Amino acid sequence: MKKLVTLSLITASSMAFASTASDMRFLKNEIANLKAEMAEIKAGNAKTAKKVKKVSKKLNKVKAHDAQDNIKWSADVRTSMDNINYTMADGTERKNSSLFSTRVWLNMAYAPTPNLIFKGQLAYNKAFGADFGNGRGAGFDSFDWITNETLTGNEMKLRQAYWLYLGDDFLGTGLGWTASAGRRPSTTGFLSSLREDDAPQSPLSHMIDVEFDGASSMLKLEKLTGVSGMSIKLCAGVGSTNASPRFSNTGTDYAEVNGVLDDVKLLGVIFVPYDDGQYKLKTMAFRAWDLPGYDNANMANLMAGRPAFMSTMGDMDGAVASLLVDGLSEDGYLSGVKLFASFAWSNTRPTHADGMLGSLDEESGTSYWFGVQAPAFGGKFGVEYNHGSQYWRSFTYGEDTMMGSKLAVRGDAFEAYYTKELTKGLSFSLRYTNIDYEYTGSNGFFGADGRPMKISDALAAGMNPVDEAQDIRAYIRYRF
């Protein structure tokens, strides 16, 4: 830039003050030299620009390679304190006023193409200072001093691992579709996700909240029908596998074993009649085969503290319809208010001589569930209520609670919670849950262990089941 200024000044001076031929020749030579330097600078700049462009191209290739060649990780760390209280049928109490725990989710995601995604999740969930799954016996469960300093088993837990394909033209129809297989995201589903402050997973949580291995495929019907958000999804899974281990003493590795629980299988369909973002109506129906439970003899052994083994008790059907209104208005305070209602039905189909749920007949049960969530004090406040009948049975064993599933209750459950984001990536929650049991067996399986008895009748028969339970939970959660 300085040379350009100098050139201009010299040129101007030559026009105003040059008076001799020698002066003119001198100025012409200077101008020629400056022009040559300028041409050299321009050539150098072009060469430099070419080099920069080449380097940028290589850098873009490296970035693209890294984007496709690395799993993307995120972390979810929750530290909780639960105050748990049980009131037994005889009026006595059992409690834990401060159960501290840490839950860690390490989330994985990778997309080699825009249409194919891998997702996985490693999970850790344990009490402060204790390892209840260490197998060392009850006397040592209260010690947690050498968990990671000793030779132990394969205890890293895989909570989710599946691939998901996103298609946009199913068999030439132009309809969007998906397909997926692996260890599926089948906990914290639609509606339960509100209190958990999470995005909803696949199943309707009123009926299914349990980890499962399987496959699913969804077809989007909105383009075909013109109905907003309409879709249908088929799901299939295995909840238990009957197979002998490797190096079996019979030499029949992985063959089915007589006298052991049959494969537990499930086939279901999730149909969404309407979803425009504000009004979401979802339905689900399924059948589960070869469900486990204790027959009468093994139930007696269990109650007496003797060794007891489960048997295959029969099949079960289930159905649920859930409606969420996500905002009562387009703007203002009411736009953040959510209302929901859900109704579910279950029906047993016994195949064992001792029946299912303590009955030789097919037994039906029902459950209804209502809730509201609204903005409050810079966060979200929610209230929920659910009721289950005498023979109600759900698959909600994975529900995030320390005292048993509230949605499995044969009786009444009330819950209130408050969640607030403290800063980006960090949130706080306080939750109160009260369960009032009307019948026993709410958290049992599908045999005599799931037999419903009036709490008063169970006490008169010499048992002392839980009559009422409360849990107050507070947590700090990091997600990023």
Token pair 């209230």: residue: 383
Examine the fold and report which residue of 35, 70, 105 is the final residue of a domain before the chain moves on: 70
Judgement on whether residues 133 and 66 belong to the same structural domain of the protein: no
Judgement on whether residues 210 and 101 belong to the same structural domain of the protein: yes
* CATH number of 125's domain: 2.40.160.10
Total tally of structural domains belonging to the chain:
2
Domain ranges, residue 12: 1-70
Judgement on whether residues 223 and 278 belong to the same structural domain of the protein: yes
Judgement on whether residues 16 and 139 belong to the same structural domain of the protein: no
The tens place of each residue's pLDDT in the chain, 480 residues long, gives 444 444 443 444 444 434 445 556 666 676 777 767 676 666 666 666 666 666 666 666 655 555 556 899 999 999 999 999 999 999 999 999 999 999 999 999 999 999 999 999 999 999 998 877 765 555 555 677 777 787 766 677 999 999 999 999 999 999 999 999 999 889 999 999 999 999 999 899 999 999 989 999 999 999 999 999 999 999 999 999 999 989 988 889 999 998 889 999 999 999 999 999 999 999 999 999 999 999 999 999 999 999 999 999 999 999 999 999 999 999 999 999 999 999 999 999 999 999 999 999 999 999 999 999 999 999 999 999 999 999 999 999 999 999 999 999 999 999 999 999 999 999 999 999 999 999 999 999 999 999 999 999 999 999 999 999 999 999 999 999
Judgement on whether residues 316 and 439 belong to the same structural domain of the protein: yes
Judgement on whether residues 53 and 89 belong to the same structural domain of the protein: no
Q: Measured between alpha carbons, how far is residue 203 from residues 237, 279, 316, 395 in Å?
A: 12, 18, 17, 11
Judgement on whether residues 249 and 311 belong to the same structural domain of the protein: yes
Judgement on whether residues 49 and 174 belong to the same structural domain of the protein: no
Examine the fold and report which residue of 18, 47, 70 is the final residue of a domain before the chain moves on: 70
Judgement on whether residues 352 and 362 belong to the same structural domain of the protein: yes
Examine the fold and report which residue of 10, 42, 70 is the final residue of a domain before the chain moves on: 70
439 contacts: CB under 8 Å, gap ≥ 6: 390, 410, 411, 452, 453, 454, 455
Judgement on whether residues 321 and 263 belong to the same structural domain of the protein: yes
Judgement on whether residues 313 and 352 belong to the same structural domain of the protein: yes
Judgement on whether residues 14 and 85 belong to the same structural domain of the protein: no
